[in-house]
Structure 1
Amino acid sequence: MGSLARVLETFFTGHGMAMATDQAERLAAGRRQRRVEAVPENLRPSVEAFADFMMHSRKRVRRAGTRPRSDATVAILRDLVRFLAGGRGKQDWALTDVHDVEAFLAGSPKARKRRLVVLGQFFRFARSRKIVLVDPSHGLTARGPSGFTGATLTLDQQRVLSRRWTTGPAVHPHEALLGMLALLHGASSREVTMLQTADLDPHARTTRLGDRPHPVPLDPASWAVLERCLAHREAQRTDSHHVMVTRQTKSDRGLVSTAYVSHVLDACGFPPRMIRCTRLLDLVNTMDPKLVAAAFGMDPEATMIYLADHVDAGRLPER
């Protein structure tokens, strides 16, 4: 469905002149199929059977009037299979043990609870179909480690990214904007996605980011990247108020999709969360965590997880 068809559908359904199409269902079915096809062939039949089982369960849930499960279940299984085959060298579900599951959950601490729920559902299904004899997720709890355990960028990697986004002529403006705001200002993907032209102050060179209580001053490099993104937006000839505009959103004035933002930085090789966490980790360990929380509009407890449990040798007094 093109952008014009989406606009017409929104207009007619909003005025009660037509029924909504099944565009969302067809797109969801395509995403599920692509995720299943991304699983290696030797482990794919089990994932396909579980996906069919989940679809039948969803139909029963809708008839009962309760909340159905989301399509993220297949994506989590796809990531697990890639982890088992690529990182652990295992090509059979029966070889999966509790250590493999725990290592997979440790790769994304924030999604530990959601991932554990999905893995429990799958392994219970696999055990009922005799695919595995023991549920490796049994006995694991949703509560993970209480500190920051994610990966961060080194100084050399930060320099390479900064040069890429400020001097690279072939870099897409959306990649440069999201990368620079995350690298220098700790901006999240949501803050950049919701950024509007009304939030910008060209005279003071400041911008509003998310729920932050004060405008954020932008350095010359970040402002130059922002101007490139605005020029790209003007070329779209859109009435949208958002800074990031694509061909799909220039007509309906909506936000860019989460899937689009999650893949904007694929070319640089680092996810947005990793870049943002690098900045937050540096600020919290060099400043007062309470000041960082106040500047970012966060709870004081949220910044404490980035506080390291050691002191750099250069900060200790000489004996």
Structure 2
Amino acid sequence: MRKEPLIIHPDYLIKNIQDGDIGAVIYGLLTGTMMTPIKDITEGVGPGGRASEFEGPGMLTIKGDKLVVQPPANFIWAYKTPYTYAVKTEDGIVIVEKNKTIKRLSPKEIGNVASDYINATELEKWYKEAKVGDRIAIDFSLSNFSDGRLEVPPEDITRFFGERTKKYMEEYPEGAPIMAYMHHYRVEEVAEATSQLESYPEYDDIAREYNAKEFVKAWNGTIVPPGTSSPGKDTVQFTSSRDPKAPGGYASHGTCPPARALRDAVAQAGLPTPTGMSWGYFALIYGFDPATDVKVYNDGKYPIMIIMWTRGSGPSMVIHAKILRLVPM
């Protein structure tokens, strides 16, 4: 903080008395210098150093010779980015953060690694199958923000953007766009489509119904910011049935009906055909994971949200897909 002689700026002393800043008053009287009032070198910051006149995660910028706290936009998004890795070594693993080794662990200690994204069993399984030098991401940051702010490390995500944002991050794969903050917007329903599961007993209708519901779970609630492509959640699992036409002889049958509903709703909303889908009856292209390889691209001006649900059960089960547009107010 810049300081000025008290004899030149007695007005600073008066201002501190008026603000009730007793500490600054005592400091000025004892040292003969006064700290420049924060309002003279900042904009949008109160006497206590807190942003004023708005709520939410503001951003510090420079405007002329002042530090300015800008209020948050209606929508702020970023990308889920690997921040911390576990790297296999000849005698265990090392934990690497920003290319710096922060911890070394023996094979017996691997189960003690705490992460919101991978549990001890999964990490130990990876270690047994990995080669020396292989790495796996165990913690993630938010980076490449839509408003240009700096990367937010894992420990600050909940503090800045709330538990809901952190939970959303945990469900989506690396590289997915993450809507970190939303406020002052209205929801417009722009498209809805349906499909029916139908019966293909040769592919096991019970397994097909399970896969259809997993597809719905994977995509329900997905938010796609403008100018981004989003996959579905990577926390779902599909079961495979034998199919001689599929690569490897197996396919996740039952995912095409909900894929048709999603594809048709996306088209009605005026958006491009999702990656990994075709316009055939069997909407999913072989070789694409129905949740993480399929991607919906939003070439519109505003964020969209995908809502999916099912009604009924068995071959007559109806799958619904709805596209909502989130418009700033």
With structure 2 as the length reference, what TM-score do the two structures score?
Answer: 0.24
> Could you say which structure has the larger radius of gyration?
2
Bigger strand fraction: 2
